[in-house]
Amino acid sequence: MTDSNPWATSQRSGSNLADVLERVLDKGLVIAGDIKICLLDIELLTIKIRLLVASVDKAREMGIDWWEHDPSLSSRGKRELEAENKQLRQQLGTPERQLEAENAQLRQQLGQAEQPKEVPT
């Protein structure tokens, strides 16, 4: 007599799928490919595709951690970007304040030069 229970088969394949997924995430999987569009032997477009499937720990071991510094993906990256923006604003503000002070000083000197001097008679 054969076992006709469909759940028995899906449970085994489910565990096999889990094993495969665990192994892929543990070891990493790289898929690479190129797409070229040519017209009359003239290359118009080349698209290079590189796909890496790995766990976060494995990616860090390989030196890949771009998600930690991307401001749209991490709060740390956002804080770094905000700090850099604040520093740049301060650097831009300093020359503006210096120019305003120099302008005020020049206006004052110009005002003094324009005042008529009394000539002794």
pLDDT per residue as tens digits for the range 33-86: 889 999 998 889 999 988 888 888 888 888 888 777 777 776 776 777 788 888
> Residue 11 — very low, low, confident or very high, per pLDDT cuts 50/70/90?
low
Smallest CA-to-CA distance from 55 within 21, 18, 26 is with: 26
pTM: 0.37
**Which pLDDT does position 61 carry in this prediction?**
84
Q: Apex CA 19: angle with CA 60 and CA 50, to 5°? A: 45
Distance between CA atoms of residues 84 and 71, nearest Å = 12
Contact, 32 vs 50, CB < 8 A? yes
Domain ranges (residues) in the chain? 17-64, 77-114
Q: Indicate the residue type of 117.
A: K
- For residue 45, report the phi and psi dihedrals to the nearest 5 degrees: -150, 135
